[in-house]
Chains A and B, each alone.
Chain A
Amino acid sequence: MTDSNTNDPLRERELLLTRRRFFRKAGGTLSTGLGALALSSLLGRELGAKPGSLAGLPSNAGANGLPLGPHFRPKAKRVIYMHMEGAPSHLDLYDYKPGLRARFDQDLPESVRDGQRLTGMTSGQARFPVAPSLFQYSRYENNQDGLWLSEVLPHTGSVAKEICMINSMHTEAINHEPAITFFQTGNQQPGRPSFGSWMSYGLGSANANLPTFVVMITQGLGNMQALSARFWGSGFLPSEHQGCKLRSGGDPVLYLSDPKGVSREDRRRMLDLVGELNEREYQRSLDPEVRARISQYEMAYRMQMSVPELTDFSDEDAATLEMYGPEVNKPGSFASNCLMARRLAERGVRFIQLYMRGWDQHGNLPRELRAQAGAVDQPQAALIKDLKRRGLLDDTLVLWAGEFGRTVYSQGQLTKTNYGRDHHPRAFSVWAAGGGMKPGISYGKTDDFGYNIVENPVSVHDLHATLLHCLGFDHERLGYRHQGRDMRLTDVFGEVKHELLA
């Protein structure tokens, strides 16, 4: 490619200098505080379309100002990624192991565990008693011989025909922080760009009034772990690609509203004056960043209108609201966030990430898991149905995943009504729907204990490669040169699992 910006070190340096200048100039006024950073992320959007603008590397811009677009014609234009923070138990939700019912309280055979390292939480346990799932399973019609789901997910069962269930996920990390980091960025060490940032970098925005990468968080009902903002950070990609967190209370985006006593007209007058001064500065310095800054202020002004409109559910009909369940009008609930996700998707937001906290059931699993599943079951099924009838499921990729699975053996005391489960990276279940993934199938198998994978293992890198494929990217080509090395979401790994594609 003639305008290749990764092969020419001089060009690279030139672009980095541009970016550095941007931060020096903009840093003083805008990039103080998370909200302001988020704001600048919103504002940077249009820049990707203009080569040589203040975006570090004009990621998706060709020589003529057109974004280069994805590598091939994509099935999916956007992603809704529901991350179940804390790692839900695959054995109690998706991975049906009826054979375990006759092994209650037996010791986990040595040959199954096979020297597997344990977390500090159970490594001291004298024995590892098998804890069969307390929940009753039902089989739902899909495009194969049916999908077995636990009794806590009845609504999810009603969309079994849309679900592409993967029972053979495995990961490398055994603790939450590195495992979430790995799932989000393809590396256990912090510092790489999040999946959504890669999307933003590769595709740019489809709605200049809204952020490209939006994050929403629901507080859980079970044991919660920390959730740090770097999970949606942009790493070494220009910071405009980082996720923008929409808050559930007060202003959804910090520092977006006009201060008290400032009317929209006043704001307009102020922007006009600032624009005039900036224009004068541009005439003096001919620095294109000044013009970019003018347009950023304008976009913030537009967002003052677009964000309240986005978060106002009054235009939803009663039937739709009812579909998402009773909590839909409670800001920050999973139901509310699912509806918000649909609204963001239909407004062209590329990457919508919902975090549901509280899946870390080391103890009291039956009670906590029932509550957790109860909070997500109806909204997530409603989201799929709602997207589908609006013609959005076809090009929206929905992903449901925790960062790892949970052990078949009980952590702490095992009784016939209560048990806990420890972290388990060797096998767990995730599912996807829409966006080019094959609907109504199950893929991969674990052994009788749900402990080891016996068929079609899928690594996190494989999953990333497959999702990128749906989005029109060759995962080996979506890269960014950083510190002299071409970086990728899948690093040097990953294989597209074509069996999962529609």
Chain B
Amino acid sequence: MPEIDSLSDLIPVFGRMHPLLLHLPIGMLVGLALLEIGNAIGRKPAASTFLVFFGAVTAAAAAASGLVLHEEPGYVESRVLELHEQLGLATAVCALVVFLLRAFGATTMYRWALLITVGVMIPTGHFGAEMVHGKNFLLEPLEQEEEPAPTVPTPSVEDGPTLASYEQHVVRFFQAKCNECHGDRKVKGGLRMDSPEALLAGGDGGPAIEEGVAPEDQELLYRMLLPIDDDDHMPPDHKAQPNEAEIELIRAWLLAGAPFDAEFELAEGAELPVTEAEPPASETGAQAQAPRAVPEAVLDSMRERLVHVQPVREGSNLLWVDFAAPASQVDDAMVRELLTPVVDWIADLSLARTQVTDTSLELIAVMPQLERLDLRGTAVTTAGLQQLVDHPHLRELVVSRTKLDDAATSALQRLPALEHLWIWDAGLSAEAIEGLRAALPEVVIDAGDLGDSAMLETEEKPEFTSDAPPVDAPSEAEIAAAEALAQKPTINQVCLVSGKEIDPQFNLEHNGQVIGFCCPNCPKTFLADPDKFLAKLESSDG
């Protein structure tokens, strides 16, 4: 149990009961108004005086608790807050007047006052809700279509570091995951995160960003990296959490010294957060207009028909679609039906071993993001392939076992992004394939015709001998050193370990002294505890 020293400690608790209390007068007063209207029109039972009293008291309590709550840190003075507060007080006063009129029996005036009270209360609630849920919460669902054209993920750039900036990326992250509580509506912990100045100024707990501090020790990142169940973890555990890419973005930004106007490099291999990605300037048109979310109902209908569909990677809108499971039943009509709604998102499409014909190539040709297409084992002909001409992104094309002919080479030469082509058993003659290889030296062309890896040499039939010198044999220098050591006088005459006669070939140099031993094992015993054996020597001397 929390300790309570005096009643005044309970005041903030009362303030926080505002969200609970405020609903009581709303329901009560609206209900009373309806009863009175019903009574005025159709002689239905009138409201009881007690309920009017209850409505007035709870209205007053809601207003009072609201005033207390306002005293807590974290609320920014704003027009909305001001209006909510003033109207709330007005509602409370009106509700008390209503009760008094009722108590004194002024029925007509009571009824009018009740209507006025409800009329004041509705905008009060509206502004209160706006503070909690944000502007336009109510009508938002109706306005989705007017949202700015969402973006598609940037196609991965293989070379060079990825650049990001505060304006383009960091701000968006703050807006998405932080500013709800650290912005113009609320300033939890005294911290605002909606401007460079505010970030540098920090909050009650100190600065969010400091100069010369490692990224992980910066309050900003430190809090994000705390375990989610830590009380200091940010954002709080019930709020949307930053993803890996966003954390890496902040880490890279802090590492670069938190620049507000210069670009900074992401760590190697890191990618920009997907929601923040901008389409590259060169890729506008269909791609830029592609809505961000893939229509889920369409994906479900694909799965119902056993078509495999998944993002090419976590967080991406680009899709890999594979018709392997229902292959033998897949025809042009089915492909058209299922893929038409998702043409904008398909990056990797396999129609291998299906019944599709050239007809489907019309649809495939307008897939703006397509990078890999597998038509293996289909009845696609050169006419179909010609529709793909000039496709901007098609990098990998599998047409093994299709019904092409030599005329296909001209179409294949007009695929600007092509890197890898599989064309085994596709109806092309060996000469046509040779011609294609000559015309497209940069493209890897796999036609199943490249020979095996050649055998370069074979060793002589192995002969087994035992001639090689043993690995552990001592070198000449080692032998010379051992011989020299054997010549030196030893400090002992009998082996210190065994007490037997010493043999010069096992002499050992230890701390500048030459010690003799009887066999190769005794030096090991000696070295395990030299002092013990040396002490023995001294005592025998003494």
A residues within 8 Å of B by Cβ? 1-2, 4, 7-8, 46, 49, 60, 64-74, 98-99, 101-107, 109-112, 132-142, 146-147, 151, 154, 157-161, 203-210, 302, 306, 309, 346-348, 385, 388-391, 394, 416, 448, 472, 477
B457 interface neighbour in A65, A139, A477, Cβ under 8 Å: A139
Q: CB-CB < 8 A to B334: which residues of A?
A: none
Q: Which residue of B lies closest to A104 (CB)?
A: B464
Interface string of B406-437 (1 = CB under 8 A from A): 00000000000000101011000000000000
B471 interface neighbour in A72, A109, A157, A394, Cβ under 8 Å: A109
Q: Are A210's CB and B325's CB within 8 A?
A: yes
Q: Are A141's CB and B462's CB within 8 A?
A: no
- B3 located at the interface, meaning its Cβ lies under 8 Å from any Cβ of chain A in the complex: no
Q: CB-CB < 8 A to B237: which residues of A?
A: 8
Q: Which residue of A lies closest to B424 (CB)?
A: A389
Contacts A66-B299, A139-B458, A208-B306 aside, 18 further interface pairs with beta carbons under 8 A come to A7-B228, A8-B228, A67-B311, A68-B311, A69-B310, A102-B468, A105-B466, A109-B470, A139-B456, A142-B453, A208-B325, A209-B326, A346-B376, A347-B324, A391-B396, A391-B398, A391-B400, A448-B471
Q: Are A159's CB and B468's CB within 8 A?
A: no
Q: Are B461's CB and A103's CB within 8 A?
A: no
Q: Are B311's CB and A102's CB within 8 A?
A: no
Q: Are B456's CB and A141's CB within 8 A?
A: yes
Q: Are A64's CB and B398's CB within 8 A?
A: no
Q: Say how far B341's CB is from chain A's closest CB, in angstroms.
A: 15
Are A141 and B243 CB-contacts (below 8 A) given A46-B303, A109-B471, A390-B424?
no
Q: Which residue of A lies closest to B464 (CB)?
A: A104
Q: CB-CB < 8 A to A1: which residues of B?
A: 241, 243
Are A49 and B303 CB-contacts (below 8 A) given A139-B455, A207-B325, A391-B446?
yes
- B184 located at the interface, meaning its Cβ lies under 8 Å from any Cβ of chain A in the complex: no
Query: Please, could you name 21 A-B residue pairs with CB atoms under 8 Å apart, sorted by A?
Result: A66-B294, A69-B311, A102-B465, A102-B467, A104-B464, A106-B466, A107-B470, A109-B470, A111-B472, A134-B462, A139-B458, A157-B455, A158-B453, A159-B452, A207-B322, A348-B308, A348-B325, A389-B424, A390-B376, A390-B422, A391-B396
Q: CB-CB < 8 A to A46: which residues of B?
A: 303
B313 interface neighbour in A71, A135, A139, A394, Cβ under 8 Å: A71
A391 interface neighbour in B374, B458, B462, Cβ under 8 Å: B374
Q: CB-CB < 8 A to B300: which residues of A?
A: 65
Q: CB-CB < 8 A to A159: which residues of B?
A: 452-453
Q: Are B240's CB and A2's CB within 8 A?
A: yes
Q: Are A141's CB and B454's CB within 8 A?
A: yes
Within 8 A of A (CB), among B446-495: 446-448, 452-468, 470-472
- B312 located at the interface, meaning its Cβ lies under 8 Å from any Cβ of chain A in the complex: yes
Interface string of B291-319 (1 = CB under 8 A from A): 00110100110010010111111111000
Q: Which residue of B lies closest to A151 (CB)?
A: B458
Are A206 and B422 CB-contacts (below 8 A) given A104-B464, A133-B462, A136-B458?
no
Docked complex Cα distance between A177 and B466 (Å): 36
Docked complex Cα distance between A135 and B462 (Å): 7
Q: Say how far A3's CB is from chain B's closest CB, in angstroms.
A: 10
Q: Say how far A154's CB is from chain B's closest CB, in angstroms.
A: 8
Which of B316, B374, B453, B457 has the most CB atoms of chain A within a 10 A radius of its CB?
A: B453
Q: CB-CB < 8 A to A448: which residues of B?
A: 471
Q: Are A388's CB and B446's CB within 8 A?
A: yes
Q: Are A110's CB and B325's CB within 8 A?
A: no
Q: Are A346's CB and B453's CB within 8 A?
A: no
Q: Are A158's CB and B452's CB within 8 A?
A: yes
Q: CB-CB < 8 A to B328: which residues of A?
A: 309
Docked complex Cα distance between A47 and B456 (Å): 52
Which of A7, A72, A208, A391 has the most CB atoms of chain B within a 10 A radius of its CB?
A: A391
Q: Which residue of B lies closest to A4 (CB)?
A: B241
Q: Say how far A210's CB is from chain B's closest CB, in angstroms.
A: 7
Q: Say how far A422's CB is from chain B's closest CB, in angstroms.
A: 20
Q: Are B453's CB and A394's CB within 8 A?
A: no
Docked complex Cα distance between A49 and B310 (Å): 9
Q: CB-CB < 8 A to A203: which residues of B?
A: 310
Q: Are A106's CB and B308's CB within 8 A?
A: no
Q: CB-CB < 8 A to A60: which residues of B?
A: 310
